[in-house]
Amino acid sequence: MTRRLRFGVVGTSAISGRFVAAARSAGWRVTILVGSSVASADRFRQQCGSDALVCGDVGQAAELAARECDVVYVASPNSLHAEHATAFLDAGVSVIVEKPAFAHPAELARAQRLADARGVLLLEAARHRYEPNYGRLADRIRQLGPLSGAQLIFRQYSSKLAAYQHGDRPRVFDAQWAGGALADLGVYLLYAAIDWFGMPEAAHYGAQVLPDTGADACGWGVLHYPAFRVDLAISKMHQSYAPSEVYTADGRTLVVNHVTEIARAELSGRDVTGQELVLDRPADNPMRPEVDFAAALLSDVDAALTDPRYRQACERAAQVARVTLWMRQDAGIVFPGDAAFEQGSDR
Amino acid sequence: MTRRLRFGVVGTSAISGRFVAAARSAGWRVTILVGSSVASADRFRQQCGSDALVCGDVGQAAELAARECDVVYVASPNSLHAEHATAFLDAGVSVIVEKPAFAHPAELARAQRLADARGVLLLEAARHRYEPNYGRLADRIRQLGPLSGAQLIFRQYSSKLAAYQHGDRPRVFDAQWAGGALADLGVYLLYAAIDWFGMPEAAHYGAQVLPDTGADACGWGVLHYPAFRVDLAISKMHQSYAPSEVYTADGRTLVVNHVTEIARAELSGRDVTGQELVLDRPADNPMRPEVDFAAALLSDVDAALTDPRYRQACERAAQVARVTLWMRQDAGIVFPGDAAFEQGSDR
């Protein structure tokens, strides 16, 4: 592929900056930047050092994007993803939506149907899935033989916690913005669990819910499989240095530094002594592998629409959204869009 | 103390052998060995290379112990601890009972009352509490400032799991013998949690219960405190290499190799880079520190009865028993003695 992909960005926070850097490193060209106002979009444009068009309105940006973009990356607050992604899909533009893609699986299903109807792509930016080491680990796990469970840990102290504790209401700690530990970090674990072990039969989540914002600051999830369970430790208020682990039925353990940016993995126990897996050095920009994956699909959108890799990505996003909802419901976490889907046919 | 303590042992499994070795290394002399039969006691006597008296009956052993022993170590199957300990206490002999001391807190309370009435000691063999590094860590945790939680992990693949999978019913995987992961390994975590953070207000346990034996093979516990929660990963079917962690409210993490045989502890995060705590080398025999603690008390039983260290050990055992019951009840794990205490006044 020699054509430079043209992309737009919705949202001006740090993650958008990292996406722009990753996409540019892959040769993409940013053409539209959308903020909550023209001024904020322009500030972001200056930070990026770009000559992109700036917009303070998604509707207007969608019209422009139909001419100016091959794809738009949506990284507005979680609770606005659905509205924003829909505007671009409806205008016939492919969309990469930052995880968690949508607050409710019905929103995702609707957006996926719209993308198919318009003949464009809708991808969730689950960046870790596209790391070469993640795929290598998935292969290794399949070779391990019968499993007896796993312990997946993503506990990361949020820089926004202090603001919350001082009386602010940062979006990541507010259910009104579809924030919380499960939405923000748990989805990484759910992708890993479903990619590595398949779709669970049921899921539970015992969460520490912030009384004033309704968001989960931390919690423990359990995914139930026919032959075993997978335990998930999720937190935005604790910093864990513990590895994740996959257990075999015969007492061996695959110890992995983390489910994202995988750098070290070792098989231990029962006649095995610290057998290290050969892995690549992770990418300098952890968003680069997903950018490359998207580029491969976007180079021929018509072909991509029936590409098994694309269809698997769509299916996986739907499964993650479904399990996320099971867990939210179990923990009593309510997002603004939920009520609208209560009577819906999408569950 | 120059007098050699004379001790008896009930139970002939591997843990009894380790206790004999630890007690002898401290200068104790074994005088009575009790098995489920005289023959098994005699086999154990030969393994130990001892001239101790052998018994196949606890009643008879209790009569002998009143003359021949300063203390008896009870390591029969969990569900028999109460009956066996009671026989020796009633005969006026101090008892060290292997953890978990009793299947139900009411049994422990009754045995503690009996010990006080007879003027002898009743200790639960929670060996890790008496490690110097455990105490040092407790001091360090108190200095950390406000905490925001902990993640304590004890997942140890049991050598008996294969037998269970082949259709046997090893006691450690059978609720009829008061076995299971919580009873066997969870108590270590509960001691650490209560020693380090105090008594929780409530506790939950989501367990994988073996359908044919009613015992928990693994599970996740949550202890609720006023300001935070402590998460417990417990398993006899998985081997974890992940450390345990204590989290501060300001984003630092104390990473500890384990709650027993503590050898490494490091404080990390938020302006701290891997600050290693200075710790002793753990004892060669992990039961030696508890033996030394017991020896100090047994050297003057009358004084020990009002010694705050003894009273705290009694209180802690009662707290651990109480939380264990909360967790069992939450997970629906029923032990044989439970029904007898349902209407009791000990809860």
Say whether A245 and B245 touch across the interface (CB within 8 A): no
pLDDT digits (tens, 9 = 90+) for B3-33: 799 999 999 999 999 999 999 999 999 999 9
- Residue A337: pLDDT band (50, 70, 90) is confident
Of A70, A85, A120, which marks where a domain is finished? A120
Task: Enumerate the residues of chain B whose CB falls inside 8 A of the CB of residue A220.
Answer: 220, 222, 231
- B149 with B109, same domain: the answer is no
Q: Pick the residue from chain B with its C-alpha nearest to A226.
A: B208
- A146 with A257, same domain: the answer is yes
Q: Percent of chain A beyond pLDDT 90? A: 90
Find the CB nearest A268 among B149, B241, B269: B241
Q: Are strands B94-98 and B122-125 parallel, antiparallel or unpaired?
A: parallel
Say whether B153 and A222 touch across the interface (CB within 8 A): no
* Rg, chain B, Cα only: 20
Task: Enumerate the residues of chain B whose CB falls inside 8 A of the CB of residue A157.
Answer: 251, 269-270
B252 touches chain A (CB under 8 A): yes
3-state SS string for chain A: CCCCCEEEEECCCHHHHHHHHHHHHCCCEEEEEECCCHHHHHHHHHHHCCCCEEECCHHHHHHHHHHHCCEEEECCCHHHHHHHHHHHHHCCCEEEEECCCCCCHHHHHHHHHHHHHHCCCEEEECHHHHCHHHHHHHHHHHHCCCEEEEEEEEECCCCCHHHHHCCCCCHHHCHHHCCCHHHHHHHHHHHHHHHHHCCCCEEEEEEEECCCCCCEEEEEEEEECCCCEEEEEEECCCCCCCCEEEEECCCCEEEECCCCCCCCEEEEECCEEEEECCCCCCCCCCCHHHHHHHHHHHCCHHHHCCCHHHHHHHHHHHHHHHHHHHHHHHHCCCCCCHHHHCCCCCC
Q: Mean per-residue pLDDT for B91-99?
A: 97
- Residue B343: pLDDT band (50, 70, 90) is low
B238 touches chain A (CB under 8 A): yes
pLDDT digits (tens, 9 = 90+) for A186-206: 999 999 999 999 999 999 999
Of A242, A259, A276, which marks where a domain is finished? A276
- A21 with A115, same domain: the answer is yes
Find the CB nearest B239 among A240, A243, A269: A269
Q: How many CB pairs under 8 A join A and B?
A: 96
Task: Enumerate the residues of chain B whose CB falls inside 8 A of the CB of residue A223.
Answer: none
Q: Mean per-residue pLDDT for A276-283?
A: 84
pLDDT digits (tens, 9 = 90+) for A217-247: 999 999 999 999 999 999 999 999 999 999 9
Residue A42: CATH number of its domain = 3.40.50.720
Query: A238, A241, A245, A264: which to substitute to probe chain B, counting the most B Cβ within 10 Å?
Result: A238
Q: Mean per-residue pLDDT for A150-163?
A: 96
- Residue A345: pLDDT band (50, 70, 90) is very low
Total count of domains within chain B: 2
- A147 with A260, same domain: the answer is yes
The span from the CA of B258 to the CA of B265, in Å, is: 9
- B258 with B297, same domain: the answer is no
- A231 with A185, same domain: the answer is yes
- A94 with A150, same domain: the answer is no
Query: B220, B224, B254: which to substitute to probe chain A, counting the most A Cβ within 10 Å?
Result: B220
User: Does a structural domain hold residue A295?
Assistant: no
- A25 with A141, same domain: the answer is no
- What is the extent of the structural domain holding A57? 6-120
User: Does a structural domain hold residue A319?
Assistant: no
User: Does a structural domain hold residue B339?
Assistant: no
Burial class (CB in 10 A: 0-12, 13-18, 19+), B168: exposed
Looking at the predicted structure, is the pLDDT value of residue A343 above 70?
no
Looking at the predicted structure, is the pLDDT value of residue B283 above 80?
yes
Task: Enumerate the residues of chain A whose CB falls inside 8 A of the CB of residue B157.
Answer: 251, 269-270
B285 touches chain A (CB under 8 A): no
Say whether A241 and B245 touch across the interface (CB within 8 A): yes
Structure confidence at residue A3 (pLDDT): 75
Of A247, A276, A305, which marks where a domain is finished? A276
Task: Enumerate the residues of chain A whose CB falls inside 8 A of the CB of residue B153.
Answer: 151, 242
The span from the CA of A19 to the CA of A40, in Å, is: 17
Structure confidence at residue A135 (pLDDT): 93
- A76 with A97, same domain: the answer is yes
